[in-house]
Amino acid sequence: MKQETALPTGNEYQRGVQRVLVITLALNLAVVAGKLFAGILADSLSVISDAIHSSVDSLNNVVGLVVMRYATAEPDDEHPYGHAKFETLAAFAIAGFLFVTCYQIGLSAFKKLFSQEATTIEITPLTITVMIVTIAVNVFVAVYEQREGRRLQSEFLIADAIHTRSDILVSCSVLTGLFLIRQGYVWLDPVVSLAVAAFIAWNGYQIFKATVPVLVDAAPVPAVRITEIAEQVPGVHSVHDVRSRSHGGEIFIEMHLHVAAEIEADHLASHAITETVEQRLADEFGKVTATIHVEPLP
């Protein structure tokens, strides 16, 4: 049986996510600066392009800091369920950035494949060292964001960690390309870039698959399973009109319960049954808010 996990709420959640974003923003800016330095030093367009790609991570951090101000706002008359979907929407936007990056890398790769111009890059030990250091920093950022995203149950941090992992692969492909060019295998550089572009597209698809159901209010759990759990509670005869949706790490469930007429007339007994149903749903699915309408048997 799944146990309910205590989640940071309110200011604690906001401060936790913002702290992660500030730290990763500083590290991402350092990565961009390092890659630009390496690219200019080697006169390498691919390394400079990689720096531009890495700048998307910094942009995502800035967007995240702005979004957090709205996603953690208290419910109001216009948003009675809160504003957590702003964070889901931001994660969806990251997937869009991934697809744009995929397109740009793929386009550049095809141009290189069919280009007749010779590539001349001055590769130095310093260039290689800078690229390796920036990759190591990105590995730390990806692991740190993934860990904190799971701890805070932040869709945005998890999505940004996926994007950072794609940045690591791009940087590794560029680094591999530099070695290949040095050995004379220039034609392999765009081939590796195409493979990386495909992986980035897959990561974008994974984020879309996770965020789109939330944005369109798809049922996070099968209605049949909810019905099974509710009907196991003593006093519940049957369940119908079951609906569910997720929002900011919480599942909202609505249902109608049929109970015996004498139980329906006893308000304390009816309330106890609905409390038991909601607790069992929380034990199974985590944080749950249930709206239950009790009806007598027809």
The first and second tokens of residue 264, run together, are 């329906």
C-alpha distance from residue 286 to each of 217, 251, 297 (Å): 18, 8, 30
C-alpha distance from residue 8 to each of 5, 56, 148, 188, 248 (Å): 10, 28, 12, 48, 12
- Whether 287 and 4 have beta carbons less than 8 Å apart is answered as yes
Q: Which of 156-160, 164-168, 190-194, 221-225 has the lowest mean pLDDT?
A: 190-194
> Is residue 3 predicted with pLDDT exceeding 50?
no
Amino acid found at 288 = V
**250-259 vs 288-296, strand pairing mode:** parallel
Sequence-distant (≥ 6) Cβ neighbours of residue 33 within 8 angstroms: none
Tell me the pLDDT tens digit for each residue of 123-143.
Answer: 778 888 888 999 999 999 999
Nearest to 42 by CA among 136, 169, 130, 135: 130
> Is residue 45 predicted with pLDDT exceeding 70?
no
pLDDT at 87: 73
Cα–Cα distance, 46 to 36 (Å, whole number) = 10
pLDDT at 80: 73
Nearest to 158 by CA among 72, 82, 249, 70: 249
Q: Is 10-215 assigned to CATH 1.20.1510.10?
A: yes
Amino acid found at 223 = A
Q: Enumerate the domain spans of the chain.
A: 10-215, 223-296
Q: What single-letter DSSP state applies at residue 78?
A: S
Amino acid found at 133 = V
The first and second tokens of residue 135, run together, are 């990759």
Coil, helix or strand at residue 76: coil
Nearest to 292 by CA among 264, 266, 250, 283: 264
Mean pLDDT (the chain) is: 81
> Is residue 43 predicted with pLDDT exceeding 80?
no
Helix crossing, 10-42 with 125-152: angle to 10°? 170
Instruction: Answer yes or no: same fold for 10-215 and 223-296.
Output: no
C-alpha distance from residue 35 to each of 16, 100, 113, 140, 177 (Å): 29, 20, 24, 17, 15
Q: Is 223-296 assigned to CATH 3.30.70.1350?
A: yes
- Whether 16 and 152 have beta carbons less than 8 Å apart is answered as yes
pLDDT at 255: 92
> Is residue 44 predicted with pLDDT exceeding 80?
no
Instruction: Supply angle C-alpha 170, 174, 179, rounded to 5.
Output: 145
DSSP-assigned beta bridge partners for residue 290:
253
pLDDT at 117: 66
What is the Cβ-side half-sphere exposure of residue 69, based on CA atoms within 13 angstroms? 4
Q: What percent of the chain has pLDDT over 70?
A: 92
pLDDT tier at 248 (50, 70, 90 boundaries)? low
Cβ neighbour number for residue 34 with a 10 Å cutoff: 19
Provide the whole-model pTM: 0.65
Cα–Cα distance, 7 to 118 (Å, whole number) = 56
